[in-house]
């Protein structure tokens, strides 16, 4: 049993090693990175831990070799932890898992220049760059999943303006996407102390009786599921289509389901659910 476990651990370690080497050799040509750069160091540590357990299960060593081996492993682990921390200081990884654990929001920032890139993930651990954020990231940021497949990344730029970047994950229902989110939420939507009214002129958000209007030039769409309403080059609100949102192809039939409204602010605000009220 000991022997089998030893070999199993050895092969796990070998497999991880091959993954790590494959990554080092090919990641540049395939434009992929680990979803979180620190995974490199974690995998390194896993390899060495598996390897050391495997060796200790498979063979017997003298006390002297044992001491040397354990010291070596500890040193290796410490080195990886230190390098991981230093690395994270240079490349800040923002990783967030969706509430249903199906999607990963990945953003990486080069701290020296504050430039940030949004990534699409593959198999959970690998990621490919999708696009550069239009503004540099300042000191504060947060990720909020508005629905299971829409994540809003709110951040302040160095000039203290608030921006929102929305990561959306796929279209819903086998290609029946809503290509233009704005027009698809035409009509009046109501939530607790808040309404969203979409007309041909634009979108008006009214919170606690205070209306804010945005014409279509100030509506930025992300993917096929969300829009951000901007004013003075700052994000004000994000609107996402909920998973139960459904629009019929016939204009006369009102949409069903909900939309989510999320205020662009660094203070703690929860996303609000809104239901279709009427088409006025």
Partner 1 sequence: MKKIIISISVLMILSLLTAMGFYHAEPKLTEPPWEQKLEKAKEKKENQESEPLVPIYVKDNVAYSLQNMELSVTFDNGRKWVQVPVEQDSLFAGEYNGNKQELIDQSYILTEKHAVFLYQVDSRIKLLSSPDQGKTWQEYIVTDHFSPIRFRKVTFLNENFGYVIVSGDRTMSQEWTSVFITKDGGETWSETNHSGVTRLIGDGGFVDESTGFLSFGTINPTEPDLYVTQDAGDSWKKADILIPEKYQEIFVMAETPLKEEDHLAMLINQGPNGDYEGGKVKGKFLSKDHGLTWKFLMEVHPNETN
Residues 206-235, one symbol each (x = binds partner 1 by CB under 8 A, - = not), give ------------------------------
Integer-rounded Cα Rg, in Å, for the chain is 24
Under rule CB under 8 A, which residues in 9-68 are in contact with partner 1? 10, 13-14, 17, 20-21, 24, 28, 31-33, 37, 40-41, 44, 47-48, 51, 55, 58-59
Nearer Cβ to partner 1 (58/246): 58
* 185, 199 contact by CB (below 8 A): no
Which of residues 103, 108, 188, 263 is near partner 1 by CB under 8 A? 108
By the rule CB under 8 A, 168 interacts with partner 1: no
**In 3D, which of 16, 37, 53 has the Cα closest to residue 61?**
53
Angle between helices 39-58 and 2-26 (to 10 degrees): 150
By the rule CB under 8 A, 83 interacts with partner 1: yes
Name, in order, each residue with C-beta under 8 angstroms of 58's C-beta and a sequence gap of 6 or more. Answer: 3, 6, 7, 10
Q: Measured between alpha carbons, how far is 125 from 201 in angstroms, rounded to an integer?
A: 43
User: Which residue's entry shows tokens 């239901």?
Assistant: 275
Which of residues 130, 134, 231, 275 is near partner 1 by CB under 8 A? 130
What 3-state class would DSSP assign to 155?
A: strand
Binding range to partner 1, per CB under 8 A, among 71-79, 94-102, 164-172, 205-213: 71-79
- What is the smallest separation between the CB atom of 167 and partner 1, expressed in angstroms? 14
**Percent of the chain as helix, strand, coil, to the nearest 5:** 30, 40, 35
Give the footprint of partner 1 on this chain (CB under 8 A). Answer: 10, 13-14, 17, 20-21, 24, 28, 31-33, 37, 40-41, 44, 47-48, 51, 55, 58-59, 72, 76, 79-80, 83, 86-87, 90-91, 108, 110, 115, 117, 128-132
């Amino acid at each position: 049993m000991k022997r089998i476990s030893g070999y199993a651990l050895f092969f796990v370690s070998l497999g991880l090693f091959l993954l790590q080497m494959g990554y080092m050799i090919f990641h540049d040509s395939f434009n992929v990175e680990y979803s979180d750069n620190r995974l490199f160091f974690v995998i390194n540590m896993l390899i060495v831990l598996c390897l050391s357990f495997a060796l200790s299960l498979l063979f017997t060593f003298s006390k002297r070799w044992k001491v040397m081996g354990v010291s070596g492993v500890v040193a290796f682990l410490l080195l990886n932890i230190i390098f991981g921390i230093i690395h994270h200081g240079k490349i800040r990884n923002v990783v967030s898992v969706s509430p249903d654990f199906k999607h990963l929001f990945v953003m990486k920032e080069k701290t020296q220049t504050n430039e940030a890139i949004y990534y699409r993930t593959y198999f959970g651990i690998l990621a490919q760059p999708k696009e550069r954020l239009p503004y540099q990231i300042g000191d504060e940021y947060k990720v909020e999943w508005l629905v299971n497949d829409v994540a809003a990344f709110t951040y302040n730029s160095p000039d203290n303006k608030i921006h929102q970047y929305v990561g959306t994950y796929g279209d819903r229902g086998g290609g029946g996407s809503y290509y233009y989110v704005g027009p698809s939420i035409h009509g009046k939507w109501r939530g607790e102390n808040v309404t969203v009214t979409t007309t041909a002129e634009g979108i008006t958000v009214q919170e606690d009786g205070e209306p804010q209007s945005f014409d279509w030039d100030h509506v930025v769409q992300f993917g096929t599921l969300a829009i951000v309403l901007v004013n003075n080059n700052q994000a004000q609100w994000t609107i996402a289509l909920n998973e139960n949102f459904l629009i019929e192809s016939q204009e006369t039939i009102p949409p069903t389901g909900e939309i989510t409204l999320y205020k662009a602010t660094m203070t703690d605000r929860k996303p609000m659910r809104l239901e279709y009220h009427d088409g006025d």
